[in-house]
């Protein structure tokens, strides 16, 4: 990366490692870390609205030119955040106890 931000490199590397494992048949969705939880639909919609007004979004698939993610999928993941800072990640709420 030209800006020297190693946290972006680490996050990208981690994301691709899970992707490779999933497509190679060495993993399943059930094995993904706890951080891959889905946010409520209201947050998904607000994140996507922000992306749709961003200059980095391109094409009918809504691919981000900065992170190369397909945004209608990325906006659903709780730990995901915008690389240009337009929306933050969200901590998973604690489980409800009876």
Mean pLDDT (the chain) is 76
Q: Report the alpha-carbon distance of residue 29 to residue 85 in Å, rounded.
A: 28
Mean pLDDT of the 30-51 span = 81
Highest mean pLDDT pick, 10-14, 24-28, 38-42, 54-58: 54-58
Cα→Cα distances 64→26, 53, 54, 59, Å? 28, 12, 9, 9
87 has a pLDDT exceeding 70: yes
CB 47 within 8 A of CB 62: no
> Which tens digit of pLDDT belongs to each residue from 1-19?
445 555 556 556 665 665 5
Measured distance CA(60)–CA(9) in Å, rounded: 27
Question: Which residues make Cβ contacts (< 8 Å) with residue 21, sequence separation at least 6?
Answer: 27
């Amino acid at each position: 990366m030209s800006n020297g931000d190693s946290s972006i490199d680490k996050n990208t590397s981690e994301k691709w490692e899970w992707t490779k494992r999933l497509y190679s048949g060495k993993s399943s969705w059930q094995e993904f870390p706890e951080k891959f939880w889905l946010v409520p639909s209201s947050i998904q919609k607000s994140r996507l609205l922000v992306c749709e007004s961003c200059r980095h979004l391109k094409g009918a698939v809504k691919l981000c030119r900065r992170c190369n993610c397909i945004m209608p999928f990325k906006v659903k993941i709780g730990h995901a955040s915008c690389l240009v800072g337009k929306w933050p990640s969200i901590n998973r709420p604690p489980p409800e106890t009876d």
